[in-house]
Chains A and B, each alone.
Chain A
Amino acid sequence: MRIGIDIGGTHTDGVLIDGTRLVAAAKTPTNHDHLLESISQILHLILAGQDPTGISTLNLSTTLTTNAIITGTTDPVGMLVVGGPGIAPENYRIGNHFNLIPGSLDHLGTETARLDTDRLEQVITGCCDQGVKHFAVVAKFSPRNPIHENQMAEQLGNRADFVSTGHLISGQLNFGRRIHTAYYNSAVARSFRNFSTALTASLRGFALKAEVNILKADGGTMPLARALEAPVQSIFSGPAASVMGILATTPVSADVLMLDIGGTTTDIALFAAGQPLLEREGIAIDGHPTLVRAIHVESIGIGGDSLIYINDSNVQTGPQRLGPCLAKGGTAPTLMDALNVLGLANFGEVGQSRDGLETLAALHGRKGRQLAKEAVETAVNTISTKIEELIALVNSKPVYTIAEILEDREINPKKIIVIGGPAAVFKELLASRLGMEVKVPPLHGVANAIGAALTRSTSHLILTADTTKGKLSVPMLGIFRPIPRSFNLETAVEEAKTLLIADLEQAGISIPASEIQITQADTFNMVEGSYTSGKNIRVVAQVQPAVVARLDENAALVAIAARL
């Protein structure tokens, strides 16, 4: 059996799943000061009457790192950054201990200026004097050659409690993002370690011996031990849990849109041929772009609690939110009230919705029903426009080969799956506005926890080989080793698969080779003068997000145990 827990901004949801059957589901308010308490409450609810020894896996999606960053309860990080020529690294300054160390590498990984170890020593001493214990070492082009990052980590030695090393975090080229990613990784490391220790103790209390995995924003999981090294990967996993919840409850094989309509926001995601689309490079944290892989989720400020107001005789819905709707005792009319007035919903005290909208409408010489109609139209239009923009964006993404230009298949979703509180209410409205089939799957109340429970591990690696230099690089695994001149694309692809499988095995995850996807496999003739001097090979291998099982749709729904 598997447990899935999604700690959200408002609620913490949990499910217990046996194969394809939902055994128990629960919901409780999130206690942001004591996340563990919310987890315990959920475990109490879903484990009632169950044998905890039969549970093999516990997958957890947590807001811990997000909260630490938002509330500023992170640790100071000594940033040791090697830039060199190009865009000034000063543009990526982050935190209070951002230090530039002279040295440089070029795009082939050739050292063009040695690392200034004297300056490095001064900087480290300065940080230590200020009590800095967490560090991040990042050099421009480190995925091509880790020498400077490794030198810095070595020189830190045991003066650091935690070090994030740029090339181990991502093999992707993007210096600024690598700096930010490494910073946040070190900044949240202590909070995450403390949480992990407490969680492990708590699970022991429940007699749970399950393996614990942490959800990532890319819709996959990582083992807790890996999360301790890369806690930044646990950020913003909530929307990913919802997306995976759809995959776990509804068969998706075509191009499909997903909408998660909540109280404050609506999240939009896109599936291409059944696969959730990822961000091109990574998500932004607190306005800083990073290399954290994530499902591409567009969020807009439209939800059930979105405020309705009239601005220059135009009816507006959201993005402000003012507590609950009138029907639930709120003070100002919201989208939910408008839906009540139109008879599309029957939520709480419908009479209060009607009175409130009538009052607001009267102030502007209108009728309540007309106001409600316009408010709902505005909301549906805003959502629809965003959907159209997202589809256009995805279809205009850059491509780099003639074959892709000629053969590129346009993503053209004909179906929307809507989840979240007001999902059912929006079904017809969206169907008629977008001309797409709209489906509201069952179990939508805890789809996110189901997604968490059933999603599997994801991983990826970037391999580059330069046979002129006779060098193979797999930065994320810290592999930089010589290769023979005969090394070719075929060997590179095999090597990438083997290394990815081996790395997952080391983390206790077994994935068959057939599940490894090669998303890039290119080889370029390198020419010196007019002779071919070697090959430049680039391979990206990944285990894409997927669910281990799909819930049996015909199985009876269980009641959601709630402690609200």
Chain B
Amino acid sequence: MLKAKSSLGVIFFPAYDWAISPTHPEREERLLYTQDQFREEGLFDIEGISEHRPLFATDQDIMRAHFCFPSVDAICTESHRISAGGAIQAARLVLEQETRRAFALVRPPGHHAMKVVHGNRGFCNINIEAVMVEWIREHYGRKRIAIVDTDCHHGDGTQDIYWHDPDVLFISIHQDGRTLYPGSGFPEENGGPKALGRTINIPLPPRTSDQGYLYALEEVVLPILAAFKPDLVINSAGQDNHYSDPITNMKFSAQGYAQLNERLKPDIAVLEGGYSIKGALPYVNLGICLAMAGCDYSAVREPDFDPVALREEPDTMEYIKQLCGQLTDNYFRPKPGAFEKQGEYFIRERKIYYDTDGILEKQREELKDCDQCRGLRLIKSSSSHLLPCLGVELPIDCCPACEREAYEQFNRKNDDYLVVQLLDQKNKQFRYRPKR
């Protein structure tokens, strides 16, 4: 009988009773054929591979990662709490050493959900990796965490959440933003003023196949990980980079994805996108599970897999080599960014569009340039649907001055904000200002 070399817990939660809409890619059917494949292959009969049910993310779990305006309940339904709870379960299994690794095969996904959430962006409401990472730090203390996002779309939500956090290294390998939603994820996006080099973007050209992906992994991701020395490696394992995916243009295969995971050796993987539900997901997910468990995956392949058609074109490979040649510098020698500053605050002003819900958010972020700590952060956010709200964030190493200032902001009596939320990582206080 087959035996896993490193034990793997799989949280398989297909949410068979939830869809964004009946024909939306994010619908009930999405993981049906993956489950069929798992069952027929007898994945859970392999000694050392176990199946687990998700936990349920509470308001506190979500408020550690997000400013939810106007409220947590307005942003997420049970499905989002369970999906995030699946990621939490994966983390719990690994940190309690019940299994060596874990894979949260859950839906709906989360990597487009940013720090502030007003609704659904790119099929995501709350960022399930971020909820998980904050849960880990809440229960197991401060950790160095690397998130490697291999979804075909730029993980703009996760990037945004950890933009200012030097403890979290975020690396996204995706299809070039000039050719795909959300249109971001360029090498110059390199982290905030206090976390420069902790955000790395690898925008691959359309039609990149296994060879190109694995080249980027070997030449950029692995050397940076070796230098960062994370306590935990997380793979945001979106599968829309597959050659059969209907909404993207890459040529990645199940074999390629399995090899990527074998070399990356993530402690935790979390499913993100991936909408070729019959032609890709059953094989890619099987490949990822076997690779994470250290089992032989050499015979896992799609029925229509054609190595000739999927071979990397020389031009593409040349482009990737050129691109990757410069990217490690973004970690080791990041260029000082041109950050706008007003007084002692770094300022970012942005408009963010929530495609699924048709919401336009207007946001102003103020990060205090403090020499004692990472600095208090204020996010003023309003939208086409909502009056201005305020998020007050205290970093984990918050100094007394920033702490005092943050609580003054939070406790003010006569400002005009509709909702004010406190996210105090230092004192672990996550709450809304009581309504008057």
Contacts and interface: CB of A to CB of B under 8 A. Distances in A.
Chain A bound to chain B: yes
Contacts, number: 116
A304 to B, nearest CB: 33
B33 A108 contact: yes
Contacts of B370: none
Contacts of B174: none
Given A405-B54, A405-B82, A527 B39 contact: no
Given A108-B33, A405-B82, 12 more contacts: A86-B300, A87-B295, A173-B40, A398-B53, A401-B15, A402-B82, A405-B53, A525-B22, A525-B27, A525-B29, A527-B25, A527-B29
Contacts of A112: 303-304
A397 B53 contact: yes
A140 B286 CA distance: 15
A399 B53 contact: yes
B78 A406 contact: yes
Contacts of A91: 1-2
A526 B277 CA distance: 10
Nearest to A531: B23
20 contacts: A85-B300, A86-B40, A86-B299, A87-B42, A91-B1, A91-B2, A106-B303, A140-B40, A173-B36, A175-B41, A175-B42, A287-B1, A396-B53, A398-B12, A405-B78, A406-B78, A524-B29, A527-B27, A530-B23, A531-B23
Given A85-B300, A531-B23, A524 B32 contact: yes
Contacts of B15: 400-402
Contacts of B295: 87
B159 to A, nearest CB: 29
Contacts of A110: 303
Nearest to A179: B42
Interface in B39-55: 39-43, 45, 51-54
A529 B246 contact: yes
A524 B23 CA distance: 11
B303 A176 contact: no
Interface of A: 85-88, 91, 104, 106-108, 110, 112, 140-141, 172-177, 281, 287-289, 396-403, 405-406, 522, 524-527, 529-532, 536
B39 A173 contact: yes
Contacts of A527: 23, 25, 27, 29
A91 B1 CA distance: 6
A402 B17 contact: yes
B56 to A, nearest CB: 7
B100 interface: no
A110 B32 CA distance: 16
B23 A107 contact: no
B380 interface: no
Complex A-B, nearest 9 residue pairs according to Cβ-Cβ distance, in ascending order: A112-B303, A173-B39, A173-B40, A524-B29, A176-B42, A401-B17, A107-B36, A401-B16, A398-B51
Interface of B: 1-2, 12-19, 22-23, 25, 27-29, 32-33, 35-37, 39-43, 45, 51-54, 56, 78-79, 82, 246, 278, 282-283, 286, 290, 295-296, 299-304
B42 A85 contact: no
Contacts of B54: 405
B29 A526 contact: yes
Instruction: Pick the most buried of B17, B43, B79: most chain A CB atoms within 10 A of its CB.
Output: B17
A177 B45 contact: yes
A112 B305 CA distance: 11
Nearest to A533: B23
A403 B17 contact: yes
Contact of B37 (A107, A177, A287, A529): A107
Nearest to A172: B39
Nearest to B254: A85
A289 B2 CA distance: 12
Contact of A536 (B17, B29, B304): B29
Contacts of A108: 33, 278
Contacts of A536: 29, 32
A107 B283 CA distance: 10
A88 B297 CA distance: 9
B52 A87 contact: no
A94 to B, nearest CB: 11
A358 B79 CA distance: 63
Contacts of B2: 87, 91
A396 B52 contact: yes
A107 B40 contact: yes
Nearest to A105: B303
Given A398-B52, A402-B18, A86 B29 contact: no
A87 B299 contact: yes
B57 to A, nearest CB: 12
A140 B302 CA distance: 15
A398 B86 CA distance: 11
Instruction: Pick the most buried of A104, A106, A172, A406: most chain B CB atoms within 10 A of its CB.
Output: A106
Contacts of B22: 525, 532
A377 to B, nearest CB: 29
Instruction: Pick the most buried of B18, B45, B52, B246: most chain A CB atoms within 10 A of its CB.
Output: B45
B141 to A, nearest CB: 27
Contacts of B33: 107-108
B225 to A, nearest CB: 29
Nearest to A106: B303
B158 to A, nearest CB: 24
Contacts of A399: 53
A177 B41 CA distance: 9
A148 to B, nearest CB: 14
A401 B18 CA distance: 8
A281 B41 CA distance: 13
Given A86-B286, A532-B22, A174 B296 contact: no
Contacts of B296: 87-88
Contacts of B299: 85-88
A205 to B, nearest CB: 45
B9 to A, nearest CB: 11
A113 to B, nearest CB: 8
Given A110-B303, A400-B14, A401-B17, A141 B45 contact: no
A167 to B, nearest CB: 12
Contacts of B51: 398
Contacts of A524: 16, 28-29, 32
